[in-house]
Amino acid sequence: MRFAVLGDLHYEAQDTAIFEAARRQLLAQRPEAVVSLGDLGGYSHCGTALSFTEGREYFSGFKVPFWALIGNHDLEGLDEFASDEDSVRGFTKAFALPAPWQAFDLGDALGITLSSTRFRGNTGCPHEVFLGAEQLAWFEATLERHRARPIFVFSHCPPLGSRLRVILNLHLNFANAWLDHNEEPARYLEIAKRHPQIRLWFSGHNHLGQLYRDSLSQVGACVFAHVGVMSRVTRDGSRMSRVVDHSGENILLYSLDHDTGQLIHDGSFDLERSELQRHVRPVELIGTAHPSAPRFEDIPHDLAIGDSVFYKCGETLVEYDRVLQDALGVVADHTKDRRVILDGEQLFLSGTWGRRQACPRRPDGRFYRPLPFELPRRKKAPEG
């Protein structure tokens, strides 16, 4: 079976020509299904009923079965919906769904979409992608019922431990890079390890291209795949979607370049051997104001407290998880001329006159501190 995966849509009516051209390119690949990773509305009207309608109409234009999920910006309709629950209901009403999470057939595989369900109520950054207890219970129960079937998961952002590229000065700084970033983010990789029938896990959120070394990764039996964007909201100038061929024994992963129309075969995943093979030479990130956090294997591991490893990336002190081998978050910024000091189980930064500045632990024992995030008030979305 061949299906297409679309990253953050951010549909804007003034860019209709861009979206129509991208759809024609995708239709030329003859997908039998389409899955969207959320963030349907453009930044002028994220999370409004209009954005949900625009997304549904755009996906309907493919004339094949489609599925969509809720991203962080899809819950941002503060002027239109009174609560997170109202926002979720607005989405499910627009797509005629009983719940914002779904299980569906993708040929021999089972597809599962996971949606963010909380924005105003998030304990850290409002833009954290949070699933909630009800959805988590449904997810695990669904996995238990389908242990003998390949499963492909779709979520707006990736799980911690997937080792996909994350943006340092945006998603790590505000702690909204990973699923449930501030509340047990490690549990999703644990779920994937307990359920090796999960073979593919797609996510977007970063607005970056798909040909970087860490746009595809394999952890255990699962391949994690980043999906870019088709519109102007790209952060690195690259506009890409994914096309996937699933034959039952082998999965072919393609990047569709919307600037050139070229279909690039960038990866193959042998399900029998659980072996991912890359077919293109990875490119380096250039031309963006949003650098990525270095990969865990590319940093020294000598500054550590328990499973926390610390590394100064420029002026930013980043905390990594030694077991999951991923960046957890930012401990402190503007640390260019300051030393990192470990004293037993305590972490300090050198200050003026030889003084130390303590870096306190979070309630979960970690040290990263999300930057405060203030919600902007947006005017009512334009009609039409």
pLDDT digits (tens, 9 = 90+) for 169-217: 889 999 999 999 998 999 999 999 999 999 999 999 999 999 999 999 9
Q: Are residues 79 and 217 in the same domain?
A: yes
Is residue 81 in some structural domain? yes
Q: In this structure, is residue 23 part of a structural domain? A: yes
One domain, residues 13 and 101? yes
Query: Is pLDDT at 124 greater than 70 in this prediction?
Result: yes
Whether residue 319 sits in one domain with residue 220: no
Residue 290 lies in a domain: no
Q: Would residue 154 count as lying in a domain?
A: yes
Residue 380 has pLDDT above 60, yes or no: no
Q: Extract the tokens encoding 374.
A: 């203030």
Determine the pLDDT at residue 352: 72
131 and 57 share a domain?
A: yes
Are residues 310 and 231 located together in one domain of the fold?
no
The Cα 251–Cα 248 span in angstroms is 8
Helix or strand holding residue 3 (H, E)? strand 2-6
The mean pLDDT value for 34-59 works out to 97
Which has the higher per-residue pLDDT, 285 or 9? Answer: 9
pLDDT over 80 (residue 276): yes
Q: So what's the pLDDT on residue 375?
A: 63
Q: What pLDDT is attached to residue 376?
A: 56
Determine, yes or no, domain membership for 384: no
Q: Residue 62: what residue type? A: F
Mean pLDDT, residues 261-281 taken together: 96
**pLDDT score at 374:** 65
CA nearest neighbour of 70 among 135, 115, 128, 136: 115
Q: What is the mean pLDDT of the chain?
A: 93
Mean pLDDT of 318-345: 94
Residue 111 is inside which H or E element, if any?
Answer: strand 109-113
**Is 177 found in the same domain as 143?**
yes
Instruction: Give the pLDDT mean for 234-247.
Output: 95
Rg (CA), the chain: 21
Report yes or no on 231 lying in a domain: yes
The 10s digit of each residue's pLDDT in 210-227 is 999 999 999 999 999 999
Q: Please tell me the distance from the alpha carbon of residue 129 to that of residue 137, in angstroms, as a whole number.
A: 17
The answer to whether residues 206 and 173 belong to one domain is: yes
Domains held by the chain: number: 2
pLDDT for 293: 87
pLDDT at 329 over 60: yes
Verify that 173 and 137 share a domain, yes or no. Answer: yes
The whole domain housing 58 covers: 2-278
373 domain residue, yes or no: no
Q: What percent of the chain has pLDDT over 70?
A: 96
Predicted TM-score (pTM) of the model is 0.95
**Given a cut of 60, is residue 117 above it in pLDDT?**
yes
Residue 277: burial class (beta carbons within 10 Å; 0-12, 13-18, 19+): exposed
CATH number at residue 150: 3.60.21.10
Vertex 71: Cα angle to 29 and 277 (nearest 5): 45
Residues 216 and 320 in one domain: no
